[in-house]
Amino acid sequence: MSATSKSNRSLKAWYSVHKWSSLICTLFILVACVTGLPLIFHSEIESAIEPASSFSTAKSLDFDALLAKAEQASPGKAVQFVLREPSSPGVTAIGLGETVGAPIGASEIILVENATGEIQGSQVIYEGVLGFFAQLHIELFAGQFGTLFLGLMTLFFIVSIISGIVVYAPFMKHRSFQFSPTGKNTKRRWFDLHNSLGMVLGVWLLVVSITGAINTVGAPLIQLWLMTDMQQEVSAEMDTPLPDNWQRTSFEAAYQQARTELPDSQFYFAMFPGTELSSDRHYLVFSTGTAPVTSRLFQPTIVNAYTGAFVSAPEFPTYMKVFLLSQPLHFGDYGGWPLKVAWALLDIGAIILLCSGLVLWWRRRKSVPKFGRAPTASEDPQIG
């Protein structure tokens, strides 16, 4: 068998991989790209819709007082988490569920002013237009199953990107790297548009796809950490039986324990005992650094919620650090406005790329690809 024949057989195989992997995932990836576009600017959109009020940051009530205010505002519910967003200084978000073990995604979030304890409102995690886009982008309105399904589609998309580069990169070497929208051949215009965008966006698409795939397995990764590293840290205490109807100790004391252990960090959020993201008897207090990178990395502190004693401040394993760093990279949330604008333009390019691929497939769906020989400078590789 000649080298040319082997090359064409390989090209045909790669083409089949590109075609079918693209057809399987394109619709779902297109939904993700469209819904992801407004989410890039979610902070700016939220500020425009509802400008943030200015609250005093000079003083604050302790956490126990703030928790009491939230519990009074939503009687009968159990505190699940506490959050202080850097973008909302002077306000604490307190999540409450029907029970402490209820799904975190269904929590009611009470906003409490730190200085006065006044209730500033309540919300749910997926609320409003942006909440609609976020829920569709993250889970397709299908919960954890939808998230994992999107992860699978993203893996198909990664295969599609790599196979597309393998198939069309040699061909693009023989042509000027440009797209002319005024050519007479409509099929040629769509083909040039699709391949030119694919080559320009290839690396970015791989970065966003890989980080997106990592994000879809975030919940399983957290559960893995809870069942391995976290369990190892608290195993000595879990053998001690607790009395019935025991009450958790002061969260303010747990917060102060975390500050003592990590004096150079800043509090971000905490999970309460009995939630799906903690153990049955421990506070998990998460702090971050102040540098651009460390501000994205959480440092957990474990405090016994029964005795109030400090347990440990373990460092997250590598897989958790990769997950945490992939989240802002996926949405271009590292470099302020310039990076967000760049991410938005690239996302628009990806939407055009996906649509052009669908147009090409639709136009040639009845044709049979012919790979009699390797493409030359004057002809296209056949696509279906």
Q: Within 10 Å of residue 219's Cβ, how many Cβ atoms? A: 15
Q: Within 10 Å of residue 341's Cβ, how many Cβ atoms? A: 14
CA distance 375 to 14: 14
Most confident residue range from 1-15, 268-282, 329-343:
268-282
Share of the chain above pLDDT 70, in %: 88
Share of the chain above pLDDT 90, in %: 55
CA 239-241-243 angle, to 5 degrees, is 160
Q: Mean pLDDT over all residues of the chain?
A: 86
Q: What is the pTM of this model?
A: 0.84
304, 279 in Cβ contact below 8 A? no
Most confident residue range from 1-10, 109-118, 172-181, 188-197:
109-118
At which residue do the structure tokens 């819904």 appear? 35
Query: Rounded to the nearest 5°, which phi and psi values hold at 304?
Result: -65, 120
43-52, 76-85, 213-222, 267-276: lowest mean pLDDT where? Answer: 43-52
Q: Is the pLDDT of residue 383 over 50?
A: no
Strands (E) located in 21-167? 78-83, 91-97, 108-113, 119-124
Most confident residue range from 97-106, 147-156, 243-252:
147-156
Strand arrangement, sheet containing 282-288: 119-124, 108-113, 91-97, 78-83, 266-271, 282-288, 298-304, 310-312
| Burial label, 212 (beta-carbon count in 10 A; 0-12, 13-18, 19+) | buried
Q: Is the pLDDT of residue 376 over 50?
A: no
